[in-house]
Amino acid sequence: MKIAIAADHAGFSLKETLRDRLQTAGHDLIDFGAFSSESTDYPDYAVAVAEAVASGKAARGILVCFTGAGMSIAANKVAGVRAAVGTRAEAVQLVREHNDANVIALGAKFLSADEAAQLVDVFLTTNFDGGARHTRRIQKIAAIERTQNQEQVLKA
């Protein structure tokens, strides 16, 4: 699977570990950085991964920062992205099955490398359930994005 991955300085070490594991498993990765633990701004990395996923250059995205929250918030500003913070395997499974999440954000402060790898595995192997109720809800999210984008254009 083609996966976009990135982290800020706080998630750098965990991102490197995940990147190595994913490459060993045969995934094709686009690494948007960070490439060191020098202080950086997480929105820059979140948007790069989100845009790769939204454009179809990557099937899924993985983001790592201190808590996962900042990356998730920033990634969700990109239309077509449904980013969720990964905390537990069951929750990650549900955001894939019910919400068709296409980006996972992980908190390096709260997850060991093995825990993060387990969440990533669930994220990559769980399919969207589809079905009328889940699809309807995702369509409503897309409609909100379209409305917001139209309003921004009208204000410009």
Catalytically active residues are 65, 98
Cβ contact 65:7 at 8 Å? yes
Kindly calculate the radius of gyration of the chain based on its CA atoms and give it in whole angstroms. Answer: 15
Is 2 within 8 Å of 59 (Cβ atoms)?
Answer: yes
Strand-by-strand arrangement of the 60-65 sheet: 28-31, 2-7, 60-65, 103-107, 83-86
**Rounded Cα gap, residues 69 and 133, in angstroms:** 27
Q: Is there a contact between 111 and 123 (Cβ–Cβ < 8 Å)?
A: no
Q: What are the backbone dihedrals phi and psi of residue 20, each rounded to the nearest 5 degrees, phi first? A: -60, -45
